[in-house]
Amino acid sequence: MAKGDRYPTMYANVSQQQLTALFSTEQWNSLSFSQRMAACQEVENRYAAEHNVEPCRVTHEQMEGACYGWQNGNTICLNTSLVRDGQFVTHYDGENGEKCEARTNALAPSWNTLDTVYHEGTHGVQQSQGRIPSTYVDPDFDGDLYRIQGVEKEAYAVGQARTLQALSDYEKAAGKLDASRNDYLTSVKDDSFRAALADAAYRYNDPNIERTLQSVIEDREKGVVPENPSKSYQAIDSMLDRQYASYLQNGQNRQNGQTAQNGQTAQNSQTAQSGQTAQNGQAQSEAAPAAQAGEAQSEAGLGEDADGRLASGEQTSYDGPSAGSEYSGTGMDDGREAFGEQTPFDGPSTGSEYGGTGMDDGREAFGGQTSYDGPSTGSEYGGSVDDGRGAFDDHSQGSDSGASQDSGADFSSDGGDMSMDD
């Protein structure tokens, strides 16, 4: 049996562009719940086959709070209310002890569902390839370190890059902007690797915090105890000791998931990062909606590496080579993204993107040229590895500072962030 035949779907014979177009707002709204789940399974089937690994079975369950989904073993589990209703559901006790339920609309639920399938599918690939270490930072213990750890950085980057490409392909084929494009771009901006990196570097007083974190993970995997470790190394090591002691005390298991960082928790799941936490999950934030399609949009940082390179070494069509320092946020992508393709959303940028100055001059959403800026200058942040979303699970969205305005929406960022302009 071929790998793609393990979980057959009704969409096995449609083209890739037709498949991902099902996640457009217009088409998604016309699909039944079972059709939506079948589309998600087909995306996973093809993504796994692309990497020559067995696909995960895509299922669903009702999850608490802003959780998108999780991956564990041979399973990717999506939040039922997200896929069915486009909402997150939270239960709580009222003032008089009554059971209450709160529902929150998710940003761009169809595109974020596609993002989640790619994100969690990346964890499945990592697991099949033996690339998931046993040492993992739970977002409940340190959301910034969770976001910048290698496995999450990669998974975030892949999910964002693939979804941005699907959005671009749909809009070019349809000849119009998707109704939820601004909401998705906002969610990607809020899920910034760069912001998490800067926050972690500040809190740990370590400009090389990403490298320090990787050293801690590698040493713990090998059972190595370094001599004279730095203060930041010791702080991370102690945090991980507390984390695993808590697991033992509470009998928890870790799952790879995506959560919306809004304070909720996901089991190795993807959560929206706006105060939610995912148990070993990916978090995404539900930020305020952006301007309507076609209107002036605010620039946001998308993606992972400063020059847009994803962990897989591929490029997306949203970015190009970056100029400037990724860590400081100066000099953004001109459009190279994770999968080696060029998109029409960006061209070279000029100035400091982190500070909100310097726009793309380049390619707009439909392949046209704009006259809003010119090529960017500066030194690219060297040595950044993964494409952005960490390899393990969740999908987190924190806030990316320094958004700048353009006559179109310029979505460009470093630290694995994606670029998009329209």
Q: What is the pLDDT of residues 127-139, one digit of tens each?
A: 999 999 999 999 9
Residues 6+ apart with CB under 8 A from 349: 323, 331, 332, 333, 334, 358, 359, 360, 361, 373, 375, 376, 410, 412, 419
Reported as a pLDDT band with limits 50, 70 and 90, residue 164 is: very high
Query: Which of 286 and 316 is assigned the larger pLDDT?
Result: 316
pTM over 0.75: no
Task: Decide if pLDDT at 90 tops 50.
Answer: yes
Task: Decide if pLDDT at 141 tops 60.
Answer: yes
Task: Decide if pLDDT at 363 tops 50.
Answer: no
- pLDDT, residue 102, reads 96
Task: Decide if pLDDT at 348 tops 50.
Answer: no
For the chain, what is the mean pLDDT? Answer: 72
Lowest model confidence (mean pLDDT) among 7-11, 26-30, 325-329: 325-329
pLDDT (tens digit, 9 = 90+) per residue, 213-230?
A: 999 999 999 999 999 999
Query: Which of 332 and 82 is assigned the larger pLDDT?
Result: 82
Q: Number of folded domains in the chain?
A: 1
- pLDDT, residue 328, reads 27
Mean per-residue pLDDT for 45-74? Answer: 97
Residue 310 DSSP SS3: coil
Residue 416 DSSP SS3: strand
Q: Smallest Cα–Cα separation from 189: which of 284, 271, 311?
A: 284
- pLDDT, residue 251, reads 82
Reported as a pLDDT band with limits 50, 70 and 90, residue 32 is: very high
Q: Which domain holds residue 205?
A: 1-422
Alpha carbon distances (Å) from 143 to 17, 178, 203, 287: 34, 31, 12, 17
pLDDT (tens digit, 9 = 90+) per residue, 308-324?
A: 333 333 333 333 332 22
Task: Decide if pLDDT at 187 tops 70.
Answer: yes
Task: Decide if pLDDT at 264 tops 60.
Answer: no
- Of 231-240, 258-267, 312-321, 357-366, give the range with the top mean pLDDT: 231-240
- CA 113, CA 82: separation in Å to the nearest integer? 8
- pLDDT, residue 340, reads 38
Task: Decide if pLDDT at 114 tops 90.
Answer: yes
Helical (H) or strand (E) element with 129: none
Mean per-residue pLDDT for 336-360? Answer: 33
- pLDDT, residue 269, reads 58
Question: Residue 357 corresponds to which amino acid?
Answer: T
Lowest model confidence (mean pLDDT) among 52-56, 67-71, 192-196, 392-396: 392-396
Query: Which of 73 and 397 is assigned the larger pLDDT?
Result: 73
